[in-house]
Amino acid sequence: MTKARDIADFKFENIVDTGTEGTRVATGTTAQRGSTAGQLRFNSETGLAEYYTGTAFKAIDAPPTVSSVGNTNIEEASIASGFDLTISGSGFGSGATVKFIGNDGTEYNSPTVTVNSDTSITATVNTLLTNANEPYDVKVTNISGLSNTLADAFNVDGKPAWQTASGTIATIQDNATGTHATVSATDPEGDAVSYSETGGTVLSTNNFSLNSSSGAISGDPVDVSGATTHTFTLRATSGTNTADRSFNIIVNPTLDGTTSGRAFSSISTFNSLGTLSTAGYYDRYVTLNGGVSAYEQKVYYDGTDTWYVVSPQFTSGGLISNSMYGVANDRASDGSFKTIWQAHNRSVSWNGTWSYLGTTTVQDLIGTGKNNVGSTGAVPLGDSSSQVLTSLASLTSFSTINYYDHVAGSNYSSATLTALRNVVTELNYKTAWMSITGDDDGSGFNNYGGIGWDDGSILNNPSFNGTPATTHIKNASGSIQKGMAGQTNDNEAMGVTLWTHNAGLAKASVGTGGNSGFNTFGGSVSYTGGLKTTGHILPAEIAGETGGSSTVVTSPLYNSTIGKLNSKLVLLVK
């Protein structure tokens, strides 16, 4: 084979380039392009390699990346003056174009685009852009036709931005006043923002007001019967731009006892509300710490605290006539006490806890206006809330004490009375439990130093010169305490003891014998700490013992300021 034949037969098939610098291909301008499919060349004008498909040349390129813009909120005035926007990214090629795409998809070409480098472009914003079509996307397209878009790149005169998170902004009681919450939004240009409710009138309907300048929400909301969520939409406005956001205010009923749905559980919680300002009686719904369903209870406000109001209702059972001492059951059928001997309306000088009573007589203590005087002694009229006790040889028979509900007009049910006893821990000293003893023939002083105030032992001893008289009260659990123990120490004298949950007082009058002082029962005038248990504040049963021609009476102490209610003496408890 000749050399010429070898060259003519030479074919380039599956060429392998083993160099490291690269293989140079044909280079030329766009005008110098060939027309054979599969041609590969470098376009010196575009700076890109290209190939011919048989119908068109295709540039070989990678798409650009648009990562950020130099301003995310552009004022319309700046756009009108020819605002240049800096676009940052990578892969920007000479001849790249920029478009701004509105929220509705409309494309606006940048009139001037300068490719500063592979990573930076400066493009003039089209003056047709307005805030009505914001936000705007930015699209960069290289001459290869490859492009990249940055979505929501900027706004024009941006709308206010809410700083207050949506949802619940306040939880309040329906008696709350003043400012409950303040919402806030800012304008990107620093313009003033105003606030309004949109889509309804929830705030004004429920007695709230919205300050259009500060965003403060205030007012005394409409009362509710249960937890109520008020949902509303607020609009922040700056110029012509607006931003809406939904918020909630939760209003809870104030447990002031005015309705069953607003019943309070604890009287201490009710006191803390401060809803009462004038001393007197009120009706309020309570649940007694959840012990019963809401019911209406009479309460008394003394100017500082509020107290439950109850009145003891003594029954006729359990009173015993004992001929051993020559006395009879002299208790009236309506429950009022009857017998206080004629001389027993003498004055008693007071001191200590109950010093406000001053000089006091029997009718002062029980709140009656006059006494009838007869062979059986002085009889206070018009009272039905005290218990007279006659002789009792042993404490085997007690009389039940019911309690009167001044709202219902009847005695409490067993369940309600039990719930009351479970929550009551204090007895107002102005309505203390009181025992009054009367003696018409005492002639000496007897010291009962061994008396147990907190037990049920019998005190009566006919061998003593004076006549003892004693009240015994029993709580619902069966625990007994003496409410009065001892004997008056003078003929025609009167003795009184008063008891609250934490204090006691014992005093005696001066009788016809001229003796002074009072039997101090071994130096102590009260059981330590007052009543033995909180259960004795509302005792369940009562009994007593008296000597010959002597009487003991038990009732709440009368206070002229608090007065009687429904003609009954009251106990103020909490």
Q: Report the percent of the chain where pLDDT is more than 90.
A: 44
What would the DSSP string read from start to end of 356-425? Answer: GG-SB-HHHHHT-S-EEEETTEEEE-S--S-EEE---SSTT--EEEEEEETTTTEEPPHHHHHHHHHH--
pLDDT at 340: 32
Model confidence at 303: pLDDT above 90:
yes
Question: Positive or negative CA dihedral for 412, 418, 422, 425?
Answer: positive
User: Per residue in 510-563, pLDDT tens?
Assistant: 554 444 444 333 333 344 567 888 999 999 988 766 655 556 667 788 888 898
pLDDT at 276: 94
pLDDT at 486: 47
CATH topology identical between 65-156 and 163-252:
yes
- Cα separations (Å) of 403 from 244, 295, 315, 472, 565? 60, 16, 10, 18, 13
What is the homologous superfamily of the domain 65-156 according to CATH?
A: Immunoglobulins (2.60.40.10)
CB atoms within 10 A of CB 391: 25
Domain boundaries, the chain: 3-59, 65-156, 163-252, 316-401+429-558
User: Per residue in 259-290, pLDDT tens?
Assistant: 998 999 999 999 999 999 999 999 999 999 99
Q: Yes or no: is domain 3-59 CATH 1.10.472?
A: no
Q: Which fold has domain 163-252?
A: Immunoglobulin-like (2.60.40)
pLDDT at 495: 65
User: Per residue in 28-49, pLDDT tens?
Assistant: 998 999 888 888 889 888 888 8
Please count the helices (runs of H) and the strands (runs of E) in the chain: 6, 38
Of the ranges 192-201, 274-283, 332-341, 564-573, which one carries the lowest mean pLDDT score? Answer: 332-341
- Going by pLDDT thresholds of 50, 70 and 90, the confidence category of residue 314 is confident
| Structure-token match 């034949």, residue found | 5
- Cα separations (Å) of 345 from 282, 440, 483? 34, 12, 20
pLDDT at 205: 97
Residues 6+ apart with CB under 8 A from 515: 445, 489, 490, 493
User: Per residue in 71-116, pLDDT tens?
Assistant: 998 888 889 999 999 999 999 988 999 999 999 999 999 999 999 9
Q: Is the pTM of this model over 0.75?
A: no
User: Per residue in 435-463, pLDDT tens?
Assistant: 776 554 444 334 344 456 666 665 554 44
Of the ranges 205-214, 416-425, 460-469, which one carries the lowest mean pLDDT score? Answer: 460-469
CA 51 from chain centre, in angstroms, equals 79
pLDDT at 509: 55
